Structure 1
C-alpha cells in the first residue's frame, strides 16, 4: 500500500465540496426553480496527499456562459497543491432537463 489518497477520490472530494459551497453561498434550497448538471470534469494531479492529511478544497467560478459556468477548484494540503480540477456546470429545467439561462441570483452570488 502506498499510503496516499487514490486518485479517483479527488473527484469525489470536489463533488462533495461543490455541494457544500453552493449550499453555503446560495442557501439550503439553492436549486429551487432550476437544477444543474456537470457537463465536463477534468482533474490534474499535482502531488500526493497522504492518508490522514487534511485537504482544503477551494472553488471559484472562472467562466460564465449563457446556460453554463466553469468552476476551477484547487485542492491543497497546507500550502502544497495536490490537485486542480475544472468543471463545467449547465443549468437545467427541473422538468425537461433542457438547458436554461443561469439564474441571475446564482450569477450574482458566485461572482
Structure 2
C-alpha cells in the first residue's frame, strides 16, 4: 500500500488558549494516520503485538511547521512510505488544510520485539503490504 490519508477535525482539546494546535499534538495526528494506514493494509497494531510479539517504536521525527492548524479546521493527514527495510520504516507524512501545507514530517520507526525492545526483521507479508 503506497500511501494513505485520514481527515482529522481540530477540537478544543488539541489547541492552546489562542485556538492554535499545540505543536506536540501534531505527533498524535501523525500516529493516527500511520495506524489507519496499517489497518487499511490489513494489519492491526494489537494483532502485530499479540501474534508477532513485536511493536513499532518511533526512533526519530523530523518536523517542519509551516502554518498553524486552528480550532474547528478539518485537516488531512497523509503517510507515504519512503523506505521499508527489514526492521526499519521511514515514512513521509504531512498535515494539510486544503492545499495549504501545515506540517511536513519524516518519521523513522523501528520494528522491535515486544519483550526486549531489540530490532527484529518484519515478516515478509507485513513488509510487502507497506511497499
User: Normalized against structure 2, the TM-score is what?
Assistant: 0.75
| SS of residue matched to 2:40 | helix
Question: Take 2:113 and 2:27, find their aligned partners in 1: how far apart are those partners?
Answer: 25
2:20 equivalent in structure 1: 4
Decide which of 61, 67, 71 is 1:51's aligned counterpart: 71
Question: Take 1:4 and 1:94, find their aligned partners in 2: how far apart are those partners?
Answer: 36
Question: Take 1:3 and 1:94, find their aligned partners in 2: how far apart are those partners?
Answer: 38
1:17 and 2:33 equivalent? Answer: yes
Question: Take 1:27 and 1:64, find their aligned partners in 2: how far apart are those partners?
Answer: 16
Q: Deviations over 1:27-71 (max 9, x none)?
A: 332443132211111211011212101111110110133310101
Greater Cα offset, 26-35 or 15-24: 26-35
Greater Cα offset, 61-70 or 27-36: 27-36
Question: Take 1:106 and 1:46, find their aligned partners in 2: how far apart are those partners?
Answer: 33
1:77 and 2:97 equivalent? Answer: yes
Structure 2: any 5+ residue segments left out of the alignment? 1-16
Structure 1: any 5+ residue segments left out of the alignment? none
Cα 1:7/1:105, change in 2 over 3 Å: same
| Aligned-CA RMSD value | 1.6
Q: How many residues align?
A: 111
Contact 2:84 2:130 in 1 (8 A): no
User: Normalized against structure 1, the TM-score is what?
Assistant: 0.87
